[in-house]
Amino acid sequence: MAKDQKKQPRPKAETPKGFRDYFGADVTERKAMLDRIAEVYHRHGFDPLETSAVETVEALGKFLPDVDRPNAGVFAWQEEAVPGGGSGDWLALRYDLTAPLARVAAQFRNDLPTPYRRYAMGPVWRNEKPGPGRFRQFYQCDADTVGAASVAADAEICGMLGDALEAVGIARGDYLVRINNRKVLNGVLEAAEVRPDQAEDVLRQIDKFDKVGRDGVLALLTTGRRDDSGAQIDGVGLSEAQAAPVLAFLTSKGAGNAETLANLRAAIGSSAIGAEGVDELAEIAALLAAAGVAEDRAVIDPSVVRGLGYYTGPVFEAELTFEILDEKGRKRQFGSVAGGGRYDGLVERFTGQKVPATGVSIGVDRLLAALRAKGLAGAEAAGPVVVTVMDRDRMADYQTMAAELRAAGIRAEVYLGNPKNFGNQLKYADKRSAPVAVIQGGDEAARGVVQVKDLILGAKIAAEASVEEWKAQPAQTEVARADLVAEVRRILG
Amino acid sequence: MAKDQKKQPRPKAETPKGFRDYFGADVTERKAMLDRIAEVYHRHGFDPLETSAVETVEALGKFLPDVDRPNAGVFAWQEEAVPGGGSGDWLALRYDLTAPLARVAAQFRNDLPTPYRRYAMGPVWRNEKPGPGRFRQFYQCDADTVGAASVAADAEICGMLGDALEAVGIARGDYLVRINNRKVLNGVLEAAEVRPDQAEDVLRQIDKFDKVGRDGVLALLTTGRRDDSGAQIDGVGLSEAQAAPVLAFLTSKGAGNAETLANLRAAIGSSAIGAEGVDELAEIAALLAAAGVAEDRAVIDPSVVRGLGYYTGPVFEAELTFEILDEKGRKRQFGSVAGGGRYDGLVERFTGQKVPATGVSIGVDRLLAALRAKGLAGAEAAGPVVVTVMDRDRMADYQTMAAELRAAGIRAEVYLGNPKNFGNQLKYADKRSAPVAVIQGGDEAARGVVQVKDLILGAKIAAEASVEEWKAQPAQTEVARADLVAEVRRILG
């Protein structure tokens, strides 16, 4: 076998395109964030669910339901059909956490409580063209309530989302949960006398509201407009009178929920479904107020259009409202970090029965990026105390030192590389972001002392100090061996 | 599209064969265990690494290195070759956490510290025939040190493994880390004048030591034996004199490390590689003693044979020594929960350079089963306080109660199903393992009180009490609305 290997070219040490690894603080910071979110979800009565990463293509459905990515694919393969073994089924990696929830809700419908509140956190996979910052494996963090028809479930999730954002460190005032309702839009379409065959086109144009604004959408709904490149984009062909309720809907946000709801009632005219939608929003507003969630945390906002095409009732989105600098150094709002809403037909594919459900998904990478931008993540990156090896025959002594430090709760390790070159040991400590190095040669051992080097102070001195200051080595202290732990603790603060 | 779906049969709501979901406590108990292990690893200077679940088949290698499962397969598929998109590469799900570590160690060899200590926890996938308790996705939990030639790295991992077991709740005395060395075996094979072409056969028979014992191995090494079914199994053909050092090796465990090491020195005769192996074991024993790890926690034990064929130096295995009842009600030791050792060639496949490495893998499911058997996991299963809905118009009041309880750190939720049938609400609370139900009808609301029902006490009374006792309803208390949180807290203890 060794011979065979020599003939073959060496394999490339690379992840597949679009995949990546997470090292050290990348892992711990995300984990700390998700742990805090999980605690909030758990306190709200949500139970964790971890489904298998692999599903049958049949159970998963072949395509993503998200209208933003209609052609997105899955990683799928066919099992070998082996007697007593593989089934010949097509299997695939899950592309989100909702499709597996649908399968679980159907498979275990007789065992799960109704309603079933669950949260799920884990990787999902998309067979898409990778690009900068766009990976084919990424984390999702979802909470859903299955089997609750009441919009109390939607209100609960909106409030919980705010709690989760605060739990990870986003200050009140730095986020806003904005809530809309697909039924109100349906009412508006009725009031505007939009024909059923036009509805999808109208929805598509509304989806551009964030980008092209009121006048842009007006043009797109009526006679069309020219885009930035000068190309003519056809309009849907509504009259201005028809477009008016749609624009009224999109721009009906008032100074507070009461005013917004009044504007919406005007926009839907006499539509029954529209009135149902406005009533739902009013109930959500009342429930949030009762739960102490003020309008500066969660607010009715009909300009939320993302996902309106996918969801069937209330729709919500959490935005971070503080400003960051973009790649070009311009200030901009951080923007959306979570979205969700109410959807039907989750379980229907499997059982034929409609089961109401509502849920939210937090964009894990985006929220983590926000925490980093605000300086709220990164403290975990501190490296271990490194016990250096001056004398390789006394490895047991060095291990004892490290064991003592660890017993005191201090992260510590012995240098385990070739100890010959002491400079390499300090370079290693630097690479490890070690705050302290411990040094004991034979001379120090004989005198019962140990050198403790403050590497953070040392780096500061190296950068700023004069030669005289540097020579005085204030960052290195000799202490009695028995005082090692106390001295390290003093330096770590 | 709705029409198309009606024509198709409904998809089956099932995981693929050999896959499973984890609910509630299954998730939190495993997580709590892994969190404690991660803390120990972190304190020892190990950094987390989370590699992508998908690797190229080329980087992964097509087959498992574990000799126990030579035909085990991976889940693999070929990417479509699309210009600017898929590469046409064969991709696969990782089958363990060591192969991806090899790829990472090669890919990032200029960026990672040397030595590189890392831990990894996560699912792996095996395309094997599923069976009872045998799944095709399961968790692994590994710690490895890459780039440290010194057996101080092995000793560190053995000590850390003991710390990890204690951290999850296994008492000192209930586990034992047993350590052996492949080099000693190599020395024994030299002393026994085993021909190179016989070595693999000898190894295979040694691997049966746990099962067939000393005399069984003697027969297998020499003239063969009859197995339980009466079939004749050929022997390797060694003389009894040749077999003697091998048996001396396997049975050289003495009353303590000193005696064991003396027995091993005798078994290896004049073999240089054997002497190197014994010296390594002696050094590991000394390092463990210096770090305060006594022989009742980690001990040299040449009867550890599992993995000897795979590893190249020290080999270790952690056993839980307490007894449990097996499926047939017989007492037996719980047995192995972790194993590891030193291996070469980890990075060599990629770079051509030998990089020394050593590591350990904890069997996550087995260790969790052990914790459950000892009653050390399961406390997390407590459900939320359920606020019932007597009057659906006062949903806001009920949400306020739940919000107050949560603000006091108590897990609480409002019943969100159809509130019409109150019995269903109590059944729901039972299914949720709720410790407390909160009840407030219009009458109670008017009087400013709330009913708090102790469901655990209630269940006890229902099971044990007389009719009179039951009627007195000692498990249900009426308190002032303002005292809700205090009363719930009192019941929860």
What's the pLDDT tens digit per position in B269-300?
Answer: 999 999 999 999 999 999 999 888 999 999 99
For the domain covering B147-343, report its CATH number: 3.30.930.10
**pLDDT tens figures, B309-335:** 889 999 999 999 998 887 788 888 889
- Name the amino acid, one letter, at A284: I
ipTM of the assembly?
A: 0.90
Confidence of residue B1 (pLDDT cuts 50, 70, 90): very low
* Average pLDDT rounded to a whole number, residues A257-266: 96
**Domain A25-373 falls under CATH 3.30.930.10:** yes
**pLDDT tens figures, A99-149:** 999 999 999 999 999 999 999 999 999 988 888 878 999 999 999 999 999
Residue A70 CB partners (closer than 8 Å, separation 6+): A63, A64
With CA atoms as reference, the chain A residue closest to B89 would be A16
Q: How far apart are CA A93 and CA A21, in angstroms?
A: 18
Chain A residues in contact with B50 (beta carbon < 8 A): 21-22, 26-27
* Average pLDDT rounded to a whole number, residues A295-306: 93
Of B43, B54, B396, the CB nearest to A287: B396
Cis before B115? omega within 30: yes
Beta pairing partners, A206: none
Closest CA to B335 of B209, B175, B179: B175
Per-domain residue ranges of chain A: 25-373, 384-492
CATH of region B382-492, choose from 3.30.300.30, 2.102.10.10, 3.20.20.70, 3.40.50.800: 3.40.50.800
Average pLDDT, chain B: 89
Q: How many CB atoms lie under 10 A from the CB of residue A4?
A: 7
Residue A359 CB partners (closer than 8 Å, separation 6+): A98, A101, A142, A143, A144, A145, A157, A340, A341, A343
* Cα–chain center distance at A68: 18
Q: Give me the pLDDT at residue B2, please.
A: 46
Give the distance from residue B452's alpha carbon to the nearest chain A alpha carbon, in angstroms: 18
Q: How far apart are CA B354 and CA A173, in angstroms?
A: 56
Chain A residues in contact with B126 (beta carbon < 8 A): none
**pLDDT tens figures, A212-259:** 899 999 999 999 888 888 888 889 999 999 999 999 999 999 999 999
Mean pLDDT check: name the lowest of A35-39, A468-472, B28-32.
A468-472
- Which residues of B fall in the annotated binding site for L-histidine? 96-98, 126, 140, 144, 306, 310-311
Which segments of B96-236 does DSSP mark as H helices, in order? 98-107, 152-167, 182-191, 196-206, 209-221
* Average pLDDT rounded to a whole number, residues B27-39: 95
* Residue in A52, A95, A111 to test binding to B, most B beta-carbons within 10 Å: A52
Q: Give me the pLDDT at residue B470, please.
A: 61
Check residues B210 and A193 and name the one with the higher pLDDT. Answer: A193
Q: How far apart are CA A296 and CA A422, in angstroms?
A: 58
A406–B44 CB contact, under 8 Å: yes
Confidence of residue B72 (pLDDT cuts 50, 70, 90): low
Q: How far apart are CA A315 and CA A318, in angstroms?
A: 11
**pLDDT tens figures, A322-361:** 988 877 888 888 899 999 999 978 889 899 999 999 999 9
B15–A414 CB contact, under 8 Å: no
**pLDDT tens figures, B205-262:** 998 888 888 999 999 999 988 888 888 888 999 999 999 999 999 999 999 999 999 9
* Average pLDDT rounded to a whole number, residues A475-486: 94
- Which two structure tokens, joined as six digits, stand for A130? 């990778």
Give the distance from residue A408's alpha carbon to the nearest chain B alpha carbon, in angstroms: 10
* Residue in B1, B28, B49, B52 to test binding to A, most A beta-carbons within 10 Å: B52
Give the distance from residue B1's alpha carbon to the nearest chain A alpha carbon, in angstroms: 12
Q: Domain A384-492 sits in which CATH superfamily?
A: Anticodon-binding domain (3.40.50.800)
Determine what percent of chain A falls in helix, strand and coil, rounding each to the nearest 5. Answer: 40, 25, 35
- Name the amino acid, one letter, at B428: Y
Residue A294 CB partners (closer than 8 Å, separation 6+): none
Of B289, B403, B416, the CB nearest to A115: B416
